[in-house]
Amino acid sequence: MAPRPYYSEPGDRLESVQPVEVSRYRGFTRANHWVTAFSLIELALSGLALFDPALYFLTGLFGGGQMTRWIHPIIGVVLFFSFALMFIQLWRMNMPKPEDTTWVANIGDVVKGREENLPELGKYNAGQKFVFWAMTGLIIVLIVSGVMIWQQVAGHLVSVPARRIAVLVHALSAVAIILVFIMHVYAAIWTRGTLRAMTRGTVTGGWAWRHHRKWLREIASRDNKGPAE
């Protein structure tokens, strides 16, 4: 019986040999990612519109103030369940690994692109794992605090003082998740070749070798063994 993969998932595989392409995300995972991303963007825009009168003009994107107030919590529920599906798929690959500590200790080399000074990595580096777990925690806080201030659903169950605290927690968490999202997008653009993983589902062998060598080694080793092993 083959050992359980440590750095890769069953769907990860080498797509071709010349040139080498590596399958990184299945179609379902990519669709799930984009639903989550667009839900978060819509929540940020509608939430900012409700947060400050200076940003009220953003309600025009959603059909006006009343429509924005109605649709904002609904999109929040969509985000929660969409991210829950992503969590089920990706949580194991985002668990801390021994090399993550070394990666963080050499963050200066990460910023400067000196990959040769960094440890070999599995499917995700420590920065990607931070984004994943930060998103997980913040989305949980946002959905709980959001339901507490959703008057049509829980207005009669939550006291006014508790609702006031929930509003503050919700606003602070929203700012935090927007910052994490911006960092995530910036990193994806900054690391050339990353975006195609979530658009085409594959990355080049060179990209995988440079950024996630343990992941590539495990996939290549597994594929070379064949189904009999």
The 8-class DSSP code of residue 203 comes to E
Contact 6, 189 (CB under 8 A): no
**Interatomic CA distance for residues 77 and 176, integer angstroms:** 19
**Interatomic CA distance for residues 143 and 124, integer angstroms:** 26
Q: How many CA atoms lie within 13 A of 197 on its CB side?
A: 19
**Interatomic CA distance for residues 200 and 24, integer angstroms:** 9
Dihedral, CA atoms, 83, 86, 88, 90, nearest 10 degrees? -130
Contact 205, 163 (CB under 8 A): no
Is 184 one of the annotated active-site residues of the chain? yes
Report helix, strand or coil for 13.
strand
Contact 46, 76 (CB under 8 A): no
The residue from 33, 72, 170, 184 that is catalytic is: 184
Contact 221, 2 (CB under 8 A): no
Cis peptide before 19 (omega within 30 of 0): yes
Active site residues: 184
